[in-house]
Structure 1
Amino acid sequence: MSDPEQIHTDVLVIGGGPAACWAALAARASGAEVVLVDKGYCGTSGATAPAGTGVWYVAPDPAARAAAKASREELGGYLAEHHWMDRVLDQTYENMERLAREGRYPFPVDPATGREIRTGVQGPEYMRRMRIWVRRRGIRILDHAPALELLVDAAGTVRGAAGYLSRADRDYRVAAGAVVLATGGCAFLSRALGTNVDTGDGALMAAEVGARFSGMEFSNAYGIAVKGSTITKTAYYGYATFFHEDGRVLEGAGSARGRSVIARTLLHERVFAQIDRADEAVRARMRLGQPNFFLQFDRRGIDPFTQRFEVDLLAEGTVRGTGGIDIVGDDCATTVPGLYAAGDAATRERICGGFTGGGSHNAAWAMSSGTWAGRGAAGHALRNRSLVVGELRGAGRTGLRPSGSGSVEAADILSAAQDELLPLEKNYLRDGVRIERAADALDAVWHTAAEALAGTSGPERVHARRAAAITAVGRLMYRSVLARTESRGMSKRADFPDQDPGQHHHIVSGGLGTVWTGTDRPHPAVAAVA
């Protein structure tokens, strides 16, 4: 392999989804030179690109905004903060206007009012337009360029990243004034649509430089999917009836409330569904809004409105969860100088507490936090442009620089981690004893990986880091679950089924060799009900 390609820039954005693109645009608009690196192809990879998504877009009407904020507070365990919700609603409203005007997104028009309908976007077209917009602004994009580790200076300030150019079979090093992590969440390679790149890479890199995390217990999202499929458009199952294997109606089962009934039933029998509660008008809108949802049925000769089909639950982890890298300022700065976080890589508790459900709030958060993180990173980089930066060192360890002399395959580490993270009876139907066992097992997996996991070739290193990242996210997740001895938001515990007013706080966490947890009180603007 030839010498690494050396790149210098003001702001490095790691990721290729909406948060990354908005961050790159904001940094460039602030006067910074920007490089964006994506492990996939920017504009086509990630959870947003393959499907449509709703957007938390609310006109600046006080009553409408108040109702929008109140709609998820109870579900989220009253951990959302009005300051952040207001900021996101404002920024999303502004960004959707920019998407129409500068991004040239073709929003549909309501024939009754003549106004554009901006409460959702079609993922493929949205991300295609975002890529074009980013390139039009003179931002350099490196596709198929997974980042492997962050680079830090002698003071521990993040100054760039190193990675691998898959198509050129060559390493790269980007020295930058600041870095935005917009790498998405972590779905543990469950096969949920668009999440094959969402493997916690940013979380691992952030943890290695000492970043703090928040809300990692809110990471057990599972989406309903046709058995053997990858498409988890759970909202459509709000029109479905669910059935036992013998044809009886599965009482209490549902999409929004009642998914745990499906999960418990799946432990001992198959579950079937039929989208039989949608009238003809709704059916037409569903097919128009999410055509890829129906491809799986059309190819199998199934009419989902009149015929039953088998369903399963796929883990979506922090992609549809709310936990992530903690942010400590309005500019989405992390606890580490020079490092900013946006989108699903960052905690979304600020706007939805312990529950989101995907789309809507997450989509609004991606474009808003991306804008703030890009702007913040640019400001940091430009303020420190004149500083003399010494030699940079790579912060990566597990999967790159093992502490021992043994050898273990990335596939074995990944499989062992998934055994603790994917099963419904461990992650979704949570119980303290089972979680403790799973956490201990993941600790053992991590220590094996830290001692012996590495790769020689570029692809081997990418796979090793992916396995390490999934394991690291799982450890932060389960230790945070154990620290919250109650049921709040999406984190429900069978051994602590009630919400405890004394635990109206955030669970923060961090660490690699040993995971630590602590608490942090919500902002005073949080709803007082606990």
Structure 2
Amino acid sequence: MTNHSKDKERSLEADVLILGGGPAGTWAAVAAAEAGASVILADKGYCGTSGATAPSGNNIWVAHPDPELHEKAMQDRHRLGGFLSDHAYLNPVLAQTVVNRSRLEAWKFPFHYNQAGDTIYSLQGPEYMKMMRSRVKRAGVKIMDHCPATELLADDEGVCGAAGILLDSGERWSVKANAVIIATGGCAFLSKALGCNVLTGDGLLMAVEAGAELSGMEFSNTYGICAANSSVTKNAFFSYGSYTYEDGSLVEGTEAAEDVIVPAKIFTIQSAIAKKLKNHPIYCKFDKASEAQQPQMRKSQPNLFLAFDRLGIDPFRDRFPVTLRLEGTVRGTGGINILDQTCATRVPGLYAAGDAATREHIAGGFSGGGSHNAAWAMSSGVFSGQAAAQFASTLGQHGRKRNFKGLAGTTEAGSGERTYQDVHNTDIIRAVQDEVMPYDKNFFRSEAKLHSSLSNLHEVWKNIRSTSAPTGRQEVKFREATAMAAVSRWMYTSALNRTESRGMHQYEDYPHLDQAQQRRLLSGGLDQVWVKPV
């Protein structure tokens, strides 16, 4: 249990506390405030600029106006995700996404238009998150910037707040709340993918410490294609590329059939690149984009082309070297398990939204950077905000009088045999990255490689758990490393228990889909990781 020093801690109260200020967190804040709750939002960075969406841009998944084409698109995605998506979730998410999109239009969001005058429902991250921060403030929500949460607070009745660190001063903060929404995003293992420097799996760790379950953690091995030495991963745009070796010859396997949907095409290209990149530099050129498409591509994703322009490269005519960056659960579908469309977890008072929550319900075992994830972020934000506000109202003032404890490090293994000075955070992070980043370990999985990696990761975890936690700003970095170690163990233990290839989980020992395993895998545990099918 964390030692809370009251004379050096800033204590606040609210009906609903939201951890994370990306799309899911900001929509949750607006929804909870509009439902009558007092709301505080705490962000690790600056709400409106931190996270994967803020520096990027993505389209929003919406229903096709032609019912037959819409149903075909749903079935294509259902098949791509290994038949694990749930139609009971799809329609409510689509309906809420349309409502949210209409609200963005009413708020004068600068959507683009095509030559026919039709609206292109693509969200430019900087404008989107700037607007969402403004709407959160207008709703009367208190925003705590640069205030990462390091632990949840709870009593025997459930979660009742969270505590963390003020990065500017190193002081502790705590918020007592009747309900908490975890919207901290996924875990990209500090791979340098754009906007992912704050996405280290903190929310998943806090949820499990509180007793929540995870789901779909085997579907957490997504990589993004990007130009070498760049952080911008725009997979859809790379479907317009031709891939060649240094001598100009075509990379085998990168020519996917034209009638294949874009996510499947990208996955084919990624697989081919991953097989060859270790031994051969690979080059790309966006030569499959027509003259008419090129200016529209530049307009819709300007950050992708900024680096090219600075280097004097025309990616439509010049070759450039590419690489793959791990995006883990950010583009994967694994996350905190939710019980229903309210986004409630099995822990009373605790909710999850956006990339922190499992997206299996809408994407099965295969997701992407925008589209379904963007729709899920805004919809689950609203669902969780409304539900959390309702739950908080049932507790009333009773919730403010609960005696809480901090949940970080409360299991028996936290013996504190070593001090933080004996452990180097960079060594912990590098040890985790050595097991999860290599393509031949994580993209192409095998039983032997998974067991070997888990053995090393369990050792990393033991070292972490025998270390007394630091205080102040160092606590934040230590918790990030702890979260990455925890997420990697849930990922690989879940992968070992899915003895087939389904969705993005490709298992060399079991290359085929097994109909008997058309089920979800729950996982959890800290010192002893467990997995069970449902």
TM bucket normalised to smaller: over 0.9
Which residue identity is paired with 1:105? F
What SS does the aligned partner of 1:273 have? strand
Q: What are the superposed Cα offsets for residues 207-262 of structure 1, whole Å, 9 maximum, x if unpaired?
A: 11111010000000000111111000111111111112332110212634231110
Which residue identity is paired with 1:128? K
What SS does the aligned partner of 1:73 have? helix
Answering whether residue 392 of structure 2 is matched by residue 391 of structure 1, we say no
Which residue identity is paired with 1:169? G
Answering whether residue 333 of structure 2 is matched by residue 322 of structure 1, we say yes
Q: Which residue of 2 aligns with 1:473?
A: 487
Instruction: Select 1:304's aligned residue among 293, 315, 333.
Output: 315
TM-score using structure 1 length = 0.94
Say whether the 8 Å CA contact 2:415–2:467 is kept in structure 1.
yes
TM-score using structure 2 length = 0.94
What SS does the aligned partner of 1:430 have? coil
What SS does the aligned partner of 1:332 have? coil
User: What is the number of equivalent residue pairs in this alignment?
Assistant: 515
Q: What are the superposed Cα offsets for residues 382-418 of structure 1, whole Å, 9 maximum, x if unpaired?
A: 101142643210001189x942221322222111111
Which residue identity is paired with 2:409? R
Q: Which residue of 2 aligns with 1:233?
A: 234
What SS does the aligned partner of 2:119 have? coil
Q: Which residue of 2 aligns with 1:434?
A: 449
Instruction: Select 1:509's aligned residue among 497, 514, 523.
Output: 523
Task: State the distance in 2 between where 1:344 and 1:501 align.
Answer: 27
Q: Which residue of 2 aligns with 1:82?
A: 87
Task: State the distance in 1 between where 2:513 and 2:76 align.
Answer: 19
* Alignment CA distance shift 1:110-1:304 (3 Å): closer
Answering whether residue 11 of structure 2 is matched by residue 11 of structure 1, we say no
Q: Which residue of 2 aligns with 1:270?
A: 281
Task: State the distance in 1 between where 2:331 and 2:29 align.
Answer: 23
What SS does the aligned partner of 1:444 have? helix
Instruction: Select 1:284's aligned residue among 261, 275, 295.
Output: 295
Instruction: Select 2:344's aligned residue among 333, 336, 341.
Output: 333
Instruction: Select 2:376's aligned residue among 361, 365, 371.
Output: 365
Answering whether residue 446 of structure 2 is matched by residue 446 of structure 1, we say no
Task: State the distance in 2 between where 1:415 and 1:282 align.
Answer: 41
Instruction: Select 2:57's aligned residue among 47, 52, 58.
Output: 52
CA shift for structure 1 position 454:
2.1
* Alignment CA distance shift 1:116-1:459 (3 Å): same
Q: What are the superposed Cα offsets for residues 291-317 of structure 1, whole Å, 9 maximum, x if unpaired?
A: 111111111111111111111000000
CA shift for structure 1 position 115:
4.6
Task: State the distance in 1 between where 2:144 and 2:200 align.
Answer: 19
Q: Which residue of 2 aligns with 1:409?
A: 424
Answering whether residue 190 of structure 2 is matched by residue 189 of structure 1, we say yes
Q: What are the superposed Cα offsets for residues 63-88 of structure 1, whole Å, 9 maximum, x if unpaired?
A: 45423422301110000010101111
* Alignment CA distance shift 1:263-1:171 (3 Å): same
Answering whether residue 358 of structure 2 is matched by residue 356 of structure 1, we say no
Q: What are the superposed Cα offsets for residues 76-120 of structure 1, whole Å, 9 maximum, x if unpaired?
A: 00000101011111110111001111x3312224453x55332x1
Say whether the 8 Å CA contact 1:398–1:449 is kept in structure 2.
no
Q: Which residue of 1 aligns with 2:27?
A: 22
Instruction: Select 2:500's aligned residue among 482, 486, 495.
Output: 486
Q: What are the superposed Cα offsets for residues 98-147 of structure 1, whole Å, 9 maximum, x if unpaired?
A: 1111x3312224453x55332x1111100000000100111000000000
Q: Which residue of 2 aligns with 1:523?
A: none
Q: Which residue of 2 aligns with 1:116?
A: 119
CA shift for structure 1 position 431:
1.2
Which residue identity is paired with 1:301? G
Structure-to-structure mapping, 1:156-167, within 5 angstroms: 157-167=158-168
* Alignment CA distance shift 1:115-1:247 (3 Å): closer
Unaligned runs of 5+ in 1: 521-530
Answering whether residue 136 of structure 2 is matched by residue 131 of structure 1, we say no
What SS does the aligned partner of 2:79 have? coil
What SS does the aligned partner of 2:332 have? coil
What SS does the aligned partner of 1:13 have? strand
Identity value in percent: 49
Say whether the 8 Å CA contact 2:416–2:468 is kept in structure 1.
no
* Alignment CA distance shift 1:230-1:453 (3 Å): farther
Instruction: Select 2:440's aligned residue among 425, 430, 438.
Output: 425
Answering whether residue 351 of structure 2 is matched by residue 346 of structure 1, we say no
What SS does the aligned partner of 1:161 have? strand
The more displaced of 268-277 and 357-366 is 268-277
Which residue identity is paired with 1:392? F
Task: State the distance in 2 between where 1:300 and 1:99 align.
Answer: 35
Task: State the distance in 2 between where 1:368 and 1:70 align.
Answer: 21
Task: State the distance in 1 between where 2:402 and 2:66 align.
Answer: 51
Structure-to-structure mapping, 1:200-219, within 5 angstroms: 200-219=201-220
What SS does the aligned partner of 1:71 have? helix
Which residue identity is paired with 1:163? G
Which residue identity is paired with 1:189? L
Task: State the distance in 1 between where 2:138 and 2:475 align.
Answer: 33
